[in-house]
Structure 1
Amino acid sequence: MDSGCTDPDSDLEEFDFTTPLSLEEAIWLMDELMYREVQYSKLVAWHQGYPLSQTLFTSVYVERLLWPEPKTLSDAKFHRDVSGTQADASILTVILEPFCLALIKCCDLVLAMISEQHYYEEEDFATQIFNRPLLSRIPPQEILSNLDSARSRLPKLGLKLPLHDALKARLDVRYFLLNILQNCSTGASTDTISIEEITSLINFVEKTSGLGRSISADAFTLKMQRRLASSVPPRPMIVTQKEAAFVFFKQLVTDATRAFEVLKITCSVDLLVAYQSFMAQDPQPSVYVRALLQSFLTLQDNILGRFTLRQFITQDLQLMVLPNSMLLTEATGTSPALNGEQIQALAQFDYFINRLGPSYLNLFRTFCLNRSRVRRNLCHAALEWDRIQAEAEELDSVVQSSFGEQPQMYSDADEPTFSYSLSSWVYHYKLMQLRGIVQMGFQLSVYAPHEYSSMYWYLSYLSSTHLSHLERISFFVSVDQQKSKGQHEKMQKTLHQLYRHFTWLKATEALAKALHRVLVVVQRHGHLVQPRPSYSSDHLRYELRMRPFQHLSIPEPLPPDVAQQACSLQELSDSTVLEQALLLNQTAKKAWEEVLKENWNSQAVSAGNISATNTSSGAEDQGMAPVVAREWTKEVRNSIKACIGTSIAISALIKGLQGEDVSKGIRGMRISIPQVGDRDRWHPAWAVPKVLS
């Protein structure tokens, strides 16, 4: 275990740093270090989990700069025992040394950013640095200045043009990358950084990688692991392929720069959409970019660097359920004279906001995790929000009595009821998370194909429940609008926001119902057959799938027999089920088209202050958040494609059902469900069956 990956008689010879280094060898070393750096930076996105001991720390050059630990930049030298005049003209000190220092500092900034945010050790990122601090004592600006000095000295060396340009491009890429990471660490804007320029440089580096020539000595060796402080056995070296390395670098630069788009968002509702859309990119942004987005929630001790937690939550409450409430006017300093009971109610409201704050921010952080963890965390958060809803109901009762709210007759209820605005808002977010749990089950291939019909039925059940809840909220907002004077604009904003949610949910509900009916007919004719292992049963499988929902107060968990009866559609014939599926699919397509007419943002995207939320959104706002707008539009368009695919499948099934030989019609068809990532899988959450005669 302690012998390393070398022969027992193998000695650990000191590398001779006085050996002259050719330009071709310098290019090769810079590229090899970059490939290993990419492995370190990108291991979260691909769940590889390789630590530094298998990548950068196998380099004798990196080890030379890091040990003994340098206290200042002047200590971080390859030639620590050689005078400056002897080493000044060396390619090693002029080019490779500043490059390596900048590379190490990049890793230090990456590590610092990720360590401060939510991540999963080993699963997401390996933070072990083996008692080799990554130049953490040296400010990034000193290393940038050192690297800039190397860039200015390069033309004075009189190198041949191809080699000169290749070395300059590598120094430029390293300079820009370190500059981006430094800006990210401070929350400074990256608007002045040109993505196109950096991408062009990276492409040139890739093009000139063939100029490099491998060094004869052991520049990278597993023997370096013997010097590291570690309690684990030696592991083999890992090197990323050249093509993958350059693709990752371009994505990292683009995502890290584009992430600053979210700082222009002025509405909490839009910010959640932006986080979800940004993380929906394929491939998913790296762990560093996901940590960067999390850091914006505490930027300068404020959300997005501008909003306090109270402002952020009350803004959401005002937009969703309380467009005109004395609970929120107190925060703006415009509240009228209050009695003692109302002051006490406001104090309880403040306490509720403080209790709610961490859970509310964690909802945004959750979408910055890897996709498997997003679903798992949503399952845990659902129970937490269920408890918050109970607290909100108690606060609603206090507010009703303190502010004299009058109950209203709603729907076909026998008795008038109160609005319960706070608990309604919490319930809205809880239902949204429950729906996300089910849909991510399809995206992550959690469910077996024979379970798709039942899970789409449950998705439609959750969507219907959510739609009914939004109708209730809209009713009480409309009643309040009739009583309020001079608040018409605020009321209309709330009603429009509810309409946006309603349209999305209607599209989701209709498409889920359509796919449920299609899959029911398919299963009736012998396709997607459920296996019958001796260790499993329908009851156990239902209990497994409903586990995230079983302990919720509302929506109440359904008994297995009730769910089975509702899901099976036993009382309906195949033709009736397919006719319903056709109508529902048409409804879904129209609803998605209606969603597409709206922008992704309900409020204007601006770099201004909180008052900017009073402006209306426009098509020009999408230009200020192109990645979010692109991914949001892509998701909606792919949902429309799923509707078209469902329509084709329904038409094929109807033809098979109406054929002369009914027994061989649908049963004789070839039916398959494309896997996630397949070109025929229009949307990862919509598993549309492919029907071939």
Structure 2
Amino acid sequence: MPEDDLAEEASQLTIDGEVSDGGDIGFAAKRLAQEARQTLSFGGASRGIRDVTEEFAAAAKQLQPGQLVKDEYFTLFEAVGALEIMDPKMDSGYVPPGDTLEPDFDVCKGLPAEQVLWIMDELLRLTAVWHDGYPLSQTIFTSLHVDRLLSPDNRAPYQLSYDDTALLVTTTEQRLVHVVLRAYCIALVKSCALVLHTIHSQNFYEEEDFVTHLFGRELLPSTGANDAIKLLDEAVKFLVGAEVDKVMRAALLERLQFARTYVSLLISDSADWNTLAAMERLAETHRLAQPIQEAFSDKVQRQLATSTPPRPMIAISWDEALQRWRAICADIVEADRLTCFDVCQSPYALHRAIWAFAYREPQPNTFTRAYLQAILFAGEQITEGMAFFDLMLADMRDLVLAGDVLADPQSFLVEMPSDPRHKCSRIVETFMDKAFDEYMNLYRMVCQNRCRIRRTFTQSVAIFDSLETEAMRTDAELDSITPGIVLPHEDGPGEVTLNPLTSWVNYYKLQTMAWTIQLGFETDIYLPHELSMMYWYLMVFARRRCKLVQHIGRFLAARRKTFVSSRDARQDDEAAASQQWLAVLHRQADLTALLSSALWQLSELLMTLDILQPPKRDFAQEQLLYDVRMKSYLGIAHDPIPTLEEYKSATQSDQSVEQSCNNINSTVADAKSCLVYMKKTTPEQGKYIGTEAQWKREIKQLETTCVAVAVQTSQLRRVADKHGMLMSTARDQSLKEVIEVSIPVPGSRYHDWWVVPQIRERKM
């Protein structure tokens, strides 16, 4: 309202008799008018507007990494007061001038086939966006036709009209809306309900992975999936005889068939999702659609049960939407393939298959990951003839108890209380019950997003450490009933026993610790100067795992000698297969140790030469920084991790630059020899049945990483030689003036777990 108008309106507040009343009311009106003028002038032309974006950005660049800026006088009250009413970004009820509170599009009116086709495609596009984790409020619920069906005032059979008298649907255009489009909308809504049921039934993280809020709406609870299929069939029957252009009729029928197939696949236990992936005709006929933007509106969000401001509708192209649908279908087909009978027979093959699924490109969305979990964990067994208990027992047998009566399934069928097999099987079964949940998490948690995999495995480290205490007690109890093999100690005098359950838990604890560090590299949580320390610890964990596998292998070889006089060849065959598997595990652990050692040495050399340096922290303490970074591992009771002093003593070296580069190249050469062995491993030996392509691709990535380390080392050597520093001690030299280093981000590396610094000579 203009300033003069407001002042004039304020002056009209006087009433008859104001003069006779002493003029008090007139005085109040004049004062109100004056205050109104002052208020308006405060925000009017007298106050200039200046763009401070560039100044703010320049000031922000002056802040050091990790430095915080805090105004002690900016309180919570002031922060809330900054939310302005009537600001479209803050006020969800704000209605711009000339606009209406609710959309005024009539969803009951008939539409031509071209516009119906566009609405169907738009709903299909928004459904794909919803699968990517965007809320229903800004995707499917923005459809006014869907909103009418889901409105709380509506009831089954969910008509598009609220009138008591039924709408006379007579024209073809009306039937296209009330028969074809209505059936299509109901089918998609029911598909959303089925997808939500699958996601809710498995492990996922609300908001982080998927938005499951319905915003006060119900997804047609009185209509079942089969009812939606019947409506689609009726719509198909109508279209076949409708007076619609032949090409347009075919396009509409293809959309109805897509919706029918989609709902049918969601309610079927054994379905071929390849039938849904054939979308060529959908892509070709989309050009026939005629946009009708009024059929979708973000105003619907004002009527939903949410306090968040309206968010913009997501915009992706039609081709991108089809590509996402193809990816969903391909992921589900792959999930079915990777959980086939042959793969599920081996715990390690199944575990590797789940990792391979999690690392598909692009990364599978929440629904497909929940679908994989449903295949594995929805029933009472992994696959036919393989219960969860059998899977865990097979894991123990393959790793530490091959050919041993303790892990023989027949031992668990013995019912004679005096039989040692009965006693031992009950003890082992009790331990398995305690370790079962955490063991199954090794499979289930890989189906989460990358950050959650790392966080969950970080928590698993402490749990496995506590299970190791229980395993020690169980091993001692088993040894008192059936004493195991005793061998000379590997590192000195004395004797040592296998302690199979302790070794089994310790192996998974070390493997999980290595995964947490490697996933930390992938999620890019380490600063450049921390690469050296984290690769050193990864090397330590891998060497411990390598030594443990050697320890298990010694006892397996000794156990095989006892099978010579046995007539049962099954035990020896089982032990022989386990020996091949342990050899592969040994090479894998050795490869991890060698490659992490090479990258540790390279990163440490760059830090010694002042090329990589930590940010300046005036008040930081080295020990406290170490405690924060290694917090997840400090509570380990069995085989605790090395201290900060041990790490620092390992990094202190008086070698020259040339000697350090030679050591790195030698380590890389040893890593390549491990890859040569792994390339010759068969799927049965390496237990990568079903993931042969992923196995070869990963080996190729690791080979490329080894080459990259050698190339960057040679580059560092060349520059050091050029400036006469090759033979000098690295600790006494600095190359920061002549060398610059960049750390590749995830996605641009040869392998996301292995960060190879990129070394370049500075241009002088």
1:237-282, Cα deviation, whole Å (9 max, x unpaired): 4224124322221111110122111321211111111111110123
Does 1:78 pair with 2:160? yes
Note the C-alpha offset of 1:85: 7.0
Report the secondary structure of 2:476's partner residue: helix
1:427 aligned to which of 485, 506, 510 = 506
Alignment partners' CA distance in 2, 1:495 and 1:78: 68
Does 1:189 pair with 2:189? no
2:673 aligned to which of 590, 593, 602 = 590
Q: Are the structure 2 counterparts of residues 569 and 459 from structure 1 closer, same or farther at C-alpha, using a change threshold of 3 Å?
A: same
Report the secondary structure of 2:759's partner residue: strand
Aligned to 1:654: 717
Q: Are the structure 2 counterparts of residues 3 and 262 from structure 1 closer, same or farther at C-alpha, using a change threshold of 3 Å?
A: closer
Report the secondary structure of 1:367's partner residue: helix
Letter in 1 for 2:95: T
Kept after mapping to 2: 8 A contact 1:58/1:220 = yes
Kept after mapping to 2: 8 A contact 1:600/1:632 = no
Does 1:10 pair with 2:100? yes
Alignment partners' CA distance in 2, 1:156 and 1:33: 25
Aligned to 2:121: 31
Kept after mapping to 2: 8 A contact 1:382/1:433 = yes
2:325 aligned to which of 242, 246, 249 = 249
2:739 aligned to which of 669, 676, 684 = 669
Kept after mapping to 1: 8 A contact 2:454/2:519 = yes
2:648 aligned to which of 543, 564, 570 = 564
Letter in 1 for 2:712: A
Letter in 2 for 1:661: G
Alignment partners' CA distance in 2, 1:386 and 1:305: 33
Kept after mapping to 2: 8 A contact 1:270/1:601 = no
1:411-458, Cα deviation, whole Å (9 max, x unpaired): 133221211001111111111110000111111111011111111111
Letter in 2 for 1:576: Q
Percent of aligned pairs sharing the same letter: 25
Alignment partners' CA distance in 2, 1:661 and 1:209: 67
Note the C-alpha offset of 1:305: 5.4
1:382-531 matches, cutoff 5 A = 382-484=461-563, 485=566, 486=569, 487-531=571-615
Kept after mapping to 1: 8 A contact 2:334/2:357 = no
**Greater RCO (CA < 8 Å, at least 6 residues apart):** 1
1:354 aligned to which of 433, 440, 463 = 433
More displaced stretch, 549-558 vs 139-148: 139-148
Alignment partners' CA distance in 1, 2:717 and 2:295: 67
Structure 1 unmatched runs, 5+? 44-49, 605-616
1:181-226, Cα deviation, whole Å (9 max, x unpaired): 223xxxx233x443xx54441x44334434322326x322233234
Alignment partners' CA distance in 1, 2:483 and 2:155: 67
Note the C-alpha offset of 1:227: 3.5
Note the C-alpha offset of 1:117: 1.0
1:145-164 matches, cutoff 5 A = 145-164=230-249
TM-score by length of 1: 0.88
Letter in 2 for 1:128: H
Alignment partners' CA distance in 1, 2:412 and 2:213: 50
Kept after mapping to 1: 8 A contact 2:148/2:160 = yes
Report the secondary structure of 1:674's partner residue: coil
Kept after mapping to 2: 8 A contact 1:151/1:171 = yes
Does 1:125 pair with 2:210? yes
TM-score by length of 2: 0.80
Alignment partners' CA distance in 2, 1:541 and 1:657: 32
Note the C-alpha offset of 1:344: 3.8
Does 1:640 pair with 2:703? yes
Letter in 2 for 1:206: A
Does 1:209 pair with 2:209? no
Alignment partners' CA distance in 2, 1:629 and 1:100: 42
Structure 2 unmatched runs, 5+? 1-84, 86-90, 726-732
Aligned to 2:52: none
Note the C-alpha offset of 1:471: 0.4
Aligned to 2:751: 683
Alignment partners' CA distance in 2, 1:368 and 1:257: 16
Alignment partners' CA distance in 1, 2:464 and 2:324: 37
Report the secondary structure of 2:390's partner residue: helix
Note the C-alpha offset of 1:672: 2.1
CA RMSD of aligned residues (A): 2.7
Query: 4+ residue stretches of structure 1 with deviation over 6 A?
Result: 663-666
Letter in 2 for 1:232: S
Note the C-alpha offset of 1:236: 2.1
Does 1:236 pair with 2:236? no
Letter in 2 for 1:473: I
Letter in 2 for 1:223: K
Note the C-alpha offset of 1:502: 1.2
Between Structure 1 and Structure 2, how many residues are aligned?
652
Kept after mapping to 1: 8 A contact 2:139/2:313 = yes
Larger Rg: 2
Q: Are the structure 2 counterparts of residues 494 and 215 from structure 1 closer, same or farther at C-alpha, using a change threshold of 3 Å?
A: same
